[in-house]
Structure formats: C-alpha cells, structure tokens
Structure 1
Amino acid sequence: MRVLVLHYDVVNISLIYNLFFKELFFSISSAIFIIAILYLFIKKEIMRVNAKASKAMSYAFTDALTGLNNRHYLNDFLKKFTALNKYDSDFAVVFIDIDRFKLVNDTLGHLTGDCILKGLALSLQSLIRPGDTLCRYGGEEFVIIFSDIFKQDALSKVEQIRDCIEKRSFDCKEQKITISAGISFGSRDNDINEVMEHSDKALYMAKDAGRNCIKVYNPD
C-alpha cells in the first residue's frame, strides 16, 4: 500500500513538474514572441520617422526647380565650414550670375527661363569636382565653394565653366547664354562669410566690366 501511495505521489509530482515547465516554457516563448513583435514594430516606426525627417530635411535644403542645394543649405554649411576646413589649405568662393537673364524671361517667357536655370544647374554640376559645394543662391545666382584648392586651379576651373556655358546651346528654344563670375580666396584663418562678401563684390565688378567675364576680388 505504501508503495502504491509513493508511486502515486511520484506521478503527481512528475505531472506538476511537467505542467510547470510547460507553462514556464510557453510563457517565456510568448514573452519572446511579443518582444520580437514590439521590436520589429518600433524599428519600423523609427525607420518611418527617420525617413520623414530625411525627406523634410531634403525639402528644406533643396531648391525645388534645379534640385541643387539652396540658400538654407548654404547658411547651414557656412556655420560648419570652419570645422570642416581642417587643413591649412586655400579655398575659393565663386558667385555666378546669368547675364541679362531678365531679358530672357521678358522676351521668351518664364518657362524658357526655368529651362535655362535647370540646364545651367546640370552643367555646373558636371563641371565641378565631387567635393565642391554648389548652391542656387537665389534667382539666377549660383554659388560654388571650392575647398582645398590652389588659386590658379580655381581660376582655371571657373574659366572652364564660363567658356563651356558660352559655347553651349540650351535645349530651351536653342537659347545661348553667358555668365559673369566673381571669385575670392581664403584660408583656414579667414571668415568664409567675409570671403563670400568679397566674391559678391567681384561679381559686380564683372558686370561693370561688360559681363561674360571673371573678376577676382583684390583687397588692395
């Protein structure tokens, strides 16, 4: 009789033991499953939020017409430029303006004007180096910042740009245009905002000199 009772107790303990661990295993498995689902959901939400933020940033910093960086991007870039310009190397700032662009808009219409702006943006992108910064400054004005470049190399590059634009016929009623450019140079210790002001002054010098030319700002 004692053997039967003992056997019965062992069977009960074994059943309870099995049920306990089955319940424990089920609970742990359920918890892991729920955590995995939550992780995937949170990861998806984070990716969605990041994508929206990236898209919003792109809209904020991109010119809608040309697809270039815009004035907001340039302002943000200028704030970081000192930190980015780590080496004791020269840089150059170039202001570019389409000559007599108002006449194009007035005679051929704004659609042709927009077509020329987009065509010029593509040309400029193809002519600068991968590490250079190109922005549409506003209207028919563009800005290029050449980092880590010798003065003569920058001048040669801007002259190449001016020459290519003069020779090109844009797919906008076969319209031809010319550009004027002002360029100024700086080094690591210079305030890039001041260098930009100098290149803007040089652009006005190019306009006064008859357009379709490049002028270098000379502090002397």
Structure 2
Amino acid sequence: MERFVRLTAPTGKFDFLVKLLVFVLISGLMNHVRHIFVYGLPGQKTYWENLSDATFTALPMCTFALLLIGHLNALQKRLYLQATRDALTDLPNRRWFMDNTPERISPTQAMMIIDVDRFKDINDTFGHDIGDRCLRQMALHLRTSLEPGDILARIGGEEFAAVLGQADDAKLQRIATRMSEGLAFDPGQGSIQRVTASVGIARSDRTMVRHDALRLADKAVYQAKSAGRACFRVCVPDHRLATPHGFPVALPSTSLS
C-alpha cells in the first residue's frame, strides 16, 4: 500500500492533471467493459460514449481520490522524518543510521564515533538550554567537517557517528583533527568555552561487519578519552592467520593517533 501511495501521489499540478486524466480514462474503460457484459456486443455503445457517461461521476471521485492520496503521501513522509530525524540537531538519528549505512564497511571506508568532551559539565554549569545550543553548534561543526558522500548521525546524547567513504589516511587525519579540536562556544555569559571531542575511528584492510566496526570505534573513543580528550584514536581489528595445523593465530590490534 505504501508503494502504491508513493507511485500514485501527484508530485505537482501537471502530474496531478495527467494522473487525473489516466484515472478518468480507466473509469471509462471499466464502464465500457460493464456495458459489454450487461448488453452484449450487438448494439453496444462505443468506448467514448461510455467514457462520457462515466465522466460525470468519475471526475469528482478521481479528483478526491488523488487529493486524498497526495495527503497520505505527505503524511507518510512527515512521519518518516519524525521517526528518523533528530529534532534537536536536524541530523539523522540512530534508527536512520542503522537502516541506511552499509552492513559491511569496506577497506576504503571508515567508521567514526564522536563523543563531546565534558558535556555534562556544560549542562550542569549553564543549564540544559545552553547545552542544547552547544549540541546544535557541534552538530553543524561535525557536518561541515565531512565531505559529500560521508554520513553523519546523532546516535544518542552527546554522541555522534559517521561513515566515511574513500577514507584515505590524509582524509581521516584532516577530518578527525578538525572534529576533535571542536569549536569556540559562547554560552552567553561573557566567557568563551572551548568544546572539544574525543573521536574513535575503526578501519581495516579487510571488510568489517558494521557491528564490529561500531564496537572498535567505541573502543577507540575510550582510548582517546584516556589520552586526555580533544584527540582521536584509530583502532583496527585483530587479524587471524591460519597455521599449517589449521589453528588461528591472533595478531594484536594497534591504535594510532
């Protein structure tokens, strides 16, 4: 039904008129077929005569149906946005992120988790309204740090996640450095606060399952916080090599700044 509504809903005035004409023509065809079943082929009316008979009723009914379908389509879009959009930052939310990011992260991509440093202190010192404004500005800062084709979402509280496409080392370092350095935030009380972020990055020379990439990026965030915050860390998965006897040998993961 949702697909039918999307396909049928008018996208503009011209599209509305075209679809209205198609609906009326179909109504005329149905009336013509009914006439054949009732009266048989001899002496039957032409299609155009049956169309003329049907138009008086079909035109207002088809107009109403198209208006109703258009309203339903707009309502579906509005509900989808409300379900998948973060109202505070206008970024996609966790649900959208999990539904629209690839299940497997390729070696040319990278998963990032960005956690705003000491955000609780901002809320406790200046209040939640100022904290909300800080999150909005940080969301804008993160979004402008990325490149076209990269994905960014707020996945909860002061935590954001991103998937970078074509993430070579130079791009990763440039973006992660800018994100971690944060922004100068004015809480409106005469003092400028430097709001930074701890950034965790997961990448591998092999394809990673998204769940594993998120787990590694989260681990890298904790490493960045342990290193003093306002920095980033890169975490790579353990690689397992088969020995001649078939037993796996685990190589240690590494973390790079």
TM-score if structure 2 supplies the norm length? Answer: 0.67
CA contact (8 A) 1:92 1:151 kept: no
Give the whole-Å Cα distance in 2 for the aligned partners of 1:25 and 1:143. 60
Matched residue type, 1:76: D
CA contact (8 A) 1:151 1:185 kept: no
Question: Gaps spanning 5+ residues in structure 2: where?
Answer: 1-46, 237-252
After TM superposition, give the deviation of residue 189 of structure 1 in Å. 2.9
Structure-2 residue corresponding to 1:141: 159
After TM superposition, give the deviation of residue 209 of structure 1 in Å. 0.7
Give the whole-Å Cα distance in 2 for the aligned partners of 1:185 and 1:66. 27
1:169 paired to 2:169? no
1:152 paired to 2:170? yes
Give the whole-Å Cα distance in 1 for the aligned partners of 2:54 and 2:205. 60
Which residue among 201, 204, 211 is the counterpart of 2:222? 204
Structure-1 residue corresponding to 2:76: 53
Matched residue type, 2:130: T
RMSD of equivalent CA atoms: 2.5
Q: What SS does structure 1 have at the residue aligned with 2:208?
A: coil
After TM superposition, give the deviation of residue 77 of structure 1 in Å. 2.1
Give the whole-Å Cα distance in 1 for the aligned partners of 2:130 and 2:89. 13
C-alpha distance 148-187 of structure 1, shift in aligned 2 (>3 A): farther
Give the whole-Å Cα distance in 2 for the aligned partners of 1:215 and 1:137. 19
Q: Which has the higher helix share?
A: 1
Q: What SS does structure 2 have at the residue aligned with 1:135?
A: strand
After TM superposition, give the deviation of residue 25 of structure 1 in Å. 7.6
Aligned 1:1-220 pairs, distance under 5 A: 28-78=51-101, 81-82=102-103, 90-163=108-181, 165=182, 168-173=183-188, 174-186=192-204, 189-218=207-236, 219-220=253-254
CA deviation profile, 1:145-181 (whole Å, cap 9, x unmatched): 1023223322222112223x2xx32243243211111
After TM superposition, give the deviation of residue 48 of structure 1 in Å. 1.1
Look at both structures and tell me which one has the larger radius of gyration over its CA atoms: 1
- The aligned length equals 192
C-alpha distance 38-118 of structure 1, shift in aligned 2 (>3 A): same
CA contact (8 A) 1:90 1:151 kept: no
Q: What SS does structure 2 have at the residue aligned with 1:130?
A: coil
Give the whole-Å Cα distance in 2 for the aligned partners of 1:171 and 1:55. 33
C-alpha distance 28-153 of structure 1, shift in aligned 2 (>3 A): closer
TM-score if structure 1 supplies the norm length? Answer: 0.77
Percent of residue pairs bearing the same amino acid type: 33
After TM superposition, give the deviation of residue 109 of structure 1 in Å. 1.0
C-alpha distance 33-125 of structure 1, shift in aligned 2 (>3 A): farther
